[in-house]
Amino acid sequence: MGIRKNPCQSVAAWFFDGEAVGRVKGLYYDGALSFRADLPVPGRRPGESLVAVTLAGICATDIEIARGYMVFRGVPGHEFVGRVAESDRAETVGRRVVGEINCPCGDCDLCRGGRGNHCPTRTILGIAGRDGAFAEYLVLPDENLRRVPDGMGDREAVFTEPLAAACRAVEHAAARPGERVAVLGDGRLGLLAAMAFAASGVPATVIGRSVRKLALARERGIRAMTLEEAGKGFGADVVVEATGCRDGLAHALSLTRPQGRIVMKTTIAGRHEVNLAPLVVDEIALIGSRCGPFDRALALLASGAVDLRGLVSGEFPIERGLEAMEEARAPGALKVLLACGR
Amino acid sequence: MGIRKNPCQSVAAWFFDGEAVGRVKGLYYDGALSFRADLPVPGRRPGESLVAVTLAGICATDIEIARGYMVFRGVPGHEFVGRVAESDRAETVGRRVVGEINCPCGDCDLCRGGRGNHCPTRTILGIAGRDGAFAEYLVLPDENLRRVPDGMGDREAVFTEPLAAACRAVEHAAARPGERVAVLGDGRLGLLAAMAFAASGVPATVIGRSVRKLALARERGIRAMTLEEAGKGFGADVVVEATGCRDGLAHALSLTRPQGRIVMKTTIAGRHEVNLAPLVVDEIALIGSRCGPFDRALALLASGAVDLRGLVSGEFPIERGLEAMEEARAPGALKVLLACGR
């Protein structure tokens, strides 16, 4: 994937050139992850806004990036809520916002065909070519920002990006009423996906390993069981694979009926072993799924259909960001938040 | 997969029990592949026909089976044309037939739901629980047999099964006019799939490695090129992966546009390494595809839309079956046939 290099937005370039040394706190990855207190304020181009990050959420992708996935260098993080600090559109300054993470070129065949999220030269907040949300400030194009409704708390709004991804998995699943739907994985994303399925009118069963997390699902009226309880004969019409684990796909294949569908959310960096013969023999469709619709996620959050109680397992100030990353990696962790506001 | 044990049809049981020793020639796999001249005549139950095999075709699956795939024991082979030798339906005796390879139970949820090809207790000719076509005789349920039109030669009719599989890949591709379609792999199945696409009205490009095989495609008016010529920016809407190789899926992913589709035909026994991150990031759908519609394949053959000239690279009598298997395994081989008739 070719990623556009944009030195204006590279905190790294500024920092190491020694030309501009700021006083922005944030996490920085350059082969190792560190906390820094003297990152520069990220540069803003016309049509972009500077956003003061209030809260950021740690996602499995951030953990992969800190292991070298995407060969990213810079400030990681792509789930956030913040306030516009600077913008060409003066009326937006001070507004609470969340932001779509893909920044497409707008000019290529994919962009013109409505597939900007797959633009080959796009930058991606905290993932490719653009510094991210684990800092006091970030920069995004104005059109990426979405206003947070007044009644919605920051600790809800920060779930917009992962809930949008969960909504995308529901779209890809295309489950019809009466179909047997499973969400494999009881982590942050799995529980959000199960709630998004419930809100869509087609309930899903969460299949996981953690007694505590399965209980969180049941408290929300969602059917939940272990892989052993589901057994080999589960025969799902569609499984959303949201384990984040290397063996997730093999388990998903064993849970899916012939000619069923698997929506794959887990991105594992690098090559790993898998036996795809069952996919061919059983004529299963495996559908990759990534970023989702922010408007749908904000509407779901505003409607109260998504119950976030118990989904945050830690909140750390940005200065303790490395500790927060450790916490997010720990078995049993759910969403870990970083408080980035001054 | 649970496969119904049916001792009536197990040549192995008959053979080793020493109860019935026949004079049927065939290939036999029991951990190693051998030619045998004293296999018993396979047992026929009510509703089944005994078929004298005229010609059988060697497929990549047979080669995998001879390496231990499916843990099959017995006579391999599932592509054939033959003549009915014994049947409850006397009027069918002497008819030239081909045969669908899946023998479902007819009673389970999948069978009742029209998915008999995925019945969990089905037997599969020469693949699971049922002796196959690399012998002078085989047995199949009457309803599996399809009459070969009088004007069609045996060397055409023997392509019915692989052409049906190619038609199934075309069904799974669901390509719309104007879409960019690639068939990755210039082997037996790849060339058949490209011809099936052409007949469907949506032409495909064959991408392969063999100058000679790519020339066979071009002789049929099919666009053909090497992987290097296709390059990274090929951007197919849909790729049929028919390489039979472990690295086929990785190449297919590199040829497919974001949100495109890959129809997976290659079954590789056991676990192998693959990087599925591009599938998730690019939201690609990977669709397993297996056995196809015999009626469609017979109609295509009868119409003359599929040109089989040059697709047979060898024909051996059954006594030289081991040599034929070697030939089919060789780089550059196309379809190798076994002449099984007395």
Q: Does the distance separating the beta carbons of B282 and A264 come in below 8 Å?
A: no
Which of B192, B70, B207 is closest to B128 using CA atoms? Answer: B70
Q: Does the distance separating the beta carbons of B276 and A264 come in below 8 Å?
A: yes
Q: Does the distance separating the beta carbons of A249 and B268 come in below 8 Å?
A: no
Residues A47 and A194 in one domain: no
Number of domains comprising chain B: 2
Alpha helices in chain B (DSSP H): 11-17, 60-65, 109-112, 154-157, 160-173, 188-200, 211-219, 227-230, 248-255, 277-281, 294-303, 321-329
Kindly give the confidence (pLDDT) of every residue in chain B, 342 residues in length, as a single tens digit, with 9 standing for 90 and above.
333 333 333 333 333 333 344 689 999 999 999 999 999 999 999 999 999 999 999 998 899 899 887 789 999 999 999 999 999 999 999 999 999 999 999 999 999 999 999 999 999 999 999 999 999 999 999 999 999 999 999 999 999 999 999 999 999 999 999 999 999 999 999 999 999 999 999 999 999 999 999 999 999 999 999 999 998 889 999 999 999 888 899 999 999 999 999 999 987 656 677 888 899 999 999 999 999 999 999 999 999 999 999 999 999 999 999 999 999 999 889 999 999 986
Whether A304 is in a domain gets the answer no
Residues B78 and B209 in one domain: no
Whether A198 is in a domain gets the answer yes
Cα–Cα distance between A124 and B126 in angstroms, integer? 51
> Which pLDDT belongs to residue B258?
95
Picking from A265, A273, A288, the nearest residue to B273 by CB comes out as: A273
Residue B198, min C-alpha distance to chain A (Å):
23
> Which pLDDT belongs to residue B342?
65
Picking from B269, B274, B280, the nearest residue to A264 by CB comes out as: B280
Q: Does the distance separating the beta carbons of B266 and A288 come in below 8 Å?
A: no
CB atoms within 10 A of CB A246: 12
Residues B147 and B227 in one domain: no
Q: Give B287's contacts in chain A (Cβ within 8 Å).
A: 283-286
> Which pLDDT belongs to residue B295?
96
Residue B129, min C-alpha distance to chain A (Å):
16
Q: Give B266's contacts in chain A (Cβ within 8 Å).
A: 280
> Which pLDDT belongs to residue A143?
96
Residues B147 and B217 in one domain: no
Cα–Cα distance between A296 and A161 in angstroms, integer? 11
Whether B101 is in a domain gets the answer yes
- pLDDT (tens digit, 9 = 90+) per residue, A304-335? 999 999 999 999 999 999 999 999 999 889 99
- Per-residue pLDDT at A268 exceeds 60: yes
Residues A180 and A155 in one domain: no
Residues B138 and B70 in one domain: yes
Whether B298 is in a domain gets the answer no
Picking from B118, B257, B272, the nearest residue to A282 by CB comes out as: B118
Provide the CATH number for the domain around residue A19.
3.90.180.10
> Which pLDDT belongs to residue B6?
38
Whether A143 is in a domain gets the answer yes
Picking from B115, B269, B279, the nearest residue to A258 by CB comes out as: B115
> Which pLDDT belongs to residue A6?
38
Picking from A258, A273, A289, the nearest residue to B280 by CB comes out as: A289
Burial A148-179 (b: 16+ CB within 10 A, else e): beeebebbbbbbbbbbbbbbbbbbbbebeeee
Q: Does the distance separating the beta carbons of A265 and B280 come in below 8 Å?
A: yes
Q: Does the distance separating the beta carbons of A259 and B280 come in below 8 Å?
A: no
Whether B300 is in a domain gets the answer no
3-state secondary structure of A74: strand
Residues B262 and B177 in one domain: yes
Q: Give B279's contacts in chain A (Cβ within 8 Å).
A: 264, 286, 288
Residues B215 and B275 in one domain: yes
Whether A59 is in a domain gets the answer yes
Provide the CATH number for the domain around residue B169.
3.40.50.720
| Residues 6 or more apart whose Cβ sits within 8 Å of residue B228 | none
* Token representation of residue B94: 């002497």
pLDDT, mean over chain A: 91
Q: Does the distance separating the beta carbons of A274 and B272 come in below 8 Å?
A: yes
> Which pLDDT belongs to residue A195?
97
Residues A148 and A202 in one domain: no
Whether A196 is in a domain gets the answer yes
Q: Would you place residue A2 in the very low, low, confident or very high pLDDT band (cuts 50, 70, 90)?
A: very low
Picking from A69, A283, A288, the nearest residue to B279 by CB comes out as: A288
Interface test mutation site (partner A, options B280, B282, B284, B290, max chain A beta carbons within 10 A): B280
Residues A99 and A218 in one domain: no
Residue B318, min C-alpha distance to chain A (Å):
28
Q: What is the DSSP letter of A98?
A: E
Residues A119 and A155 in one domain: yes
Residues B105 and B87 in one domain: yes
Average pLDDT in the A153-159 region? 97
Residue A335, min C-alpha distance to chain B (Å):
22
Q: A103-106, long-range: CB within 8 Å, 24+ apart, which pairs?
A: A103/A130, A103/A140, A103/A141, A103/A144, A105/A4
- Per-residue pLDDT at A157 exceeds 70: yes
> Which pLDDT belongs to residue A270?
64
> Which pLDDT belongs to residue B10?
36
- pLDDT (tens digit, 9 = 90+) per residue, B184-208? 999 999 999 999 999 999 999 999 9
Q: What is the DSSP letter of A206?
A: E
Q: Which residues of B touch A (CB under 8 A)?
A: 1, 69, 110, 115, 118, 172, 249, 257-259, 264-277, 279-290
> Which pLDDT belongs to residue B269?
58
- pLDDT (tens digit, 9 = 90+) per residue, A79-119? 999 999 999 999 999 999 999 999 999 999 999 999 999 99
> Which pLDDT belongs to residue B11?
36
- Per-residue pLDDT at A141 exceeds 90: yes
Domain that holds residue A79: 3-159+311-339
Residue A110, min C-alpha distance to chain B (Å):
9
Q: Which residue of chain B is at minimal alpha-carbon distance from A111?
A: B258
Residue B11, min C-alpha distance to chain A (Å):
25
| Residues 6 or more apart whose Cβ sits within 8 Å of residue A182 | A204, A205, A206, A207, A230, A234, A236, A238, A239, A240, A255
Cα–Cα distance between B118 and B104 in angstroms, integer? 8
Q: Does the distance separating the beta carbons of A290 and B283 come in below 8 Å?
A: yes
ipTM of predicted complex: 0.87
Phi-psi region of B87 (alpha: psi -120 to 50; beta: other; left: phi over 0): beta
| Residues 6 or more apart whose Cβ sits within 8 Å of residue B41 | B22, B24, B50, B137
- Per-residue pLDDT at A273 exceeds 60: yes
